[in-house]
Amino acid sequence: MEFLQNILEKASKKRKTIILPESSDERVLQAAEVLTKNNIASIITLGKEERIRSDAEKLGADLSKVRIIDQENSDKLSDFTNIFFNLRKKKGITIEQARETLKRDLFFAAMMVKEGMADGSVAGSLASTADVMRAGIQCIGMPEGISIVSSFFLMVKPEKIYSFADCAVVPDPDAKQLADIAISTADNHKKLTGEEAYIAMLSFSTKGSAKHEHSDKVIDSTNIIKSKRPDLKVDGELQFDAAVVDSVGTKKAPGSNVAGRANVLIFPDLDAGNIGYKIAQRWGKAEAVGPMVQGLKKPFFDLSRGCSVEDIVNTSAICVLMG
């Protein structure tokens, strides 16, 4: 697909370093080979070098350009332990517990990203989303002004690229959290596609066509976005058809600068978002790229445990561009 090929080409020009910490997954080793052979990114993986080299040889994967760090015996473990202890001591963690935590591949990777030793991390082919998020939030943290870590998908259609959020992380965001999800998604949509974001705050109601506390949340969230980021084009509440079909948008939301042309679609909760992206993917034949984690100070991405080697490669390239 042309869009994804462009992403790979742009990433290769950035010359950044990405950590793929889950070296016991053969898909990760195969993706590391693709990423280094095609100069998309420099790659670090974590674990026992002898075991990793043996696994790669069995797969026929060339990891000669991949840097391997044994996190349990790294000379950085002591420094990382102290940093993590200071971050978490108010939560009651001991120095011994901090050290054991930092021996885990996800946390060591997150600390490498925090400390600038890598530009981003891509994990989750083996670990759960909750485990990936925990490492990212506890080590890297969120930037000032953002209240929630969330995710978005790029939904690639032949005629247009959309961003859908949140489809994977936040079950029931409040109005402030929904606003921050929209702001993060809009900024990342522009970063990845080069297109100005037109944000539709989705609901079952358009401009008061129905009255309910669920649609009130979307209206409140829209107003928060306008107050926090007056530079963004946003409107809501809008039904899906009013957001993306020009003739419907003109009729249902006359005068809107978003209705009928939205490319960033913000769903009111995770039920709607997860169902929506899968309908677009399975019935609408859109290419779903993601989910990409957003709302952290630095990129720390989560994968589906059903991901392919190609998914890991593409997500790593996007991680490069968002760094």
> Could you tell me the residue ranges of all domains in the chain?
2-141+296-322, 150-288
The residue assigned the tokens 């473990």 is 77
Per this entry, what is the length of the chain? 323
Closest CA relative to residue 267, chosen from 163, 192, 196: 163
Return the exposure string of 132-148: e unless at least 16 CB atoms fall within 10 Å of the residue's CB, then b: bbbbbbbbbbeeeebeb
User: For the structural domain made of 150-288, what CATH number should be given?
Assistant: 3.40.50.10750
Beta carbons of 153 and 315 less than 8 angstroms apart: no
The residue assigned the tokens 């930092």 is 102
Collect all residues with Cβ–Cβ distance below 8 Å to 72 and sequence separation of at least 6: 103
Predicted local distance difference test score (pLDDT) of residue 64: 96
C-alpha distances out from residue 229 to 102, 224, 295, 320, Å: 37, 8, 16, 26
Predicted local distance difference test score (pLDDT) of residue 186: 96
Write down the number of H helices and E strands in the chain: 13, 11
Predicted local distance difference test score (pLDDT) of residue 229: 95
Q: Which amino acid is it at 131?
A: D
User: For the structural domain made of 2-141+296-322, what CATH number should be given?
Assistant: 3.40.50.10950
Predicted local distance difference test score (pLDDT) of residue 291: 83
What is the reported pTM? 0.86
Token duo for residue 95: 């120095």
Alpha-carbon span 267 to 281, nearest angstrom: 16
Residue ranges with strand state E in 39-149: 42-46, 67-69, 120-123
pLDDT in tens, the chain (323 residues): 688 899 999 999 999 999 999 999 999 999 999 999 999 999 999 999 999 999 999 999 999 999 999 999 999 999 999 999 999 999 999 999 999 999 999 999 999 999 999 999 999 999 998 899 999 999 999 988 888 999 999 999 988 999 999 998 899 999 999 999 999 999 999 999 999 999 999 999 999 888 898 999 999 999 999 999 999 999 999 999 999 999 999 999 999 999 999 999 999 999 999 999 999 999 999 988 878 899 999 999 998 888 899 999 999 999 999 87
Q: Say if 2-141+296-322 and 150-288 have the same CATH topology.
A: yes
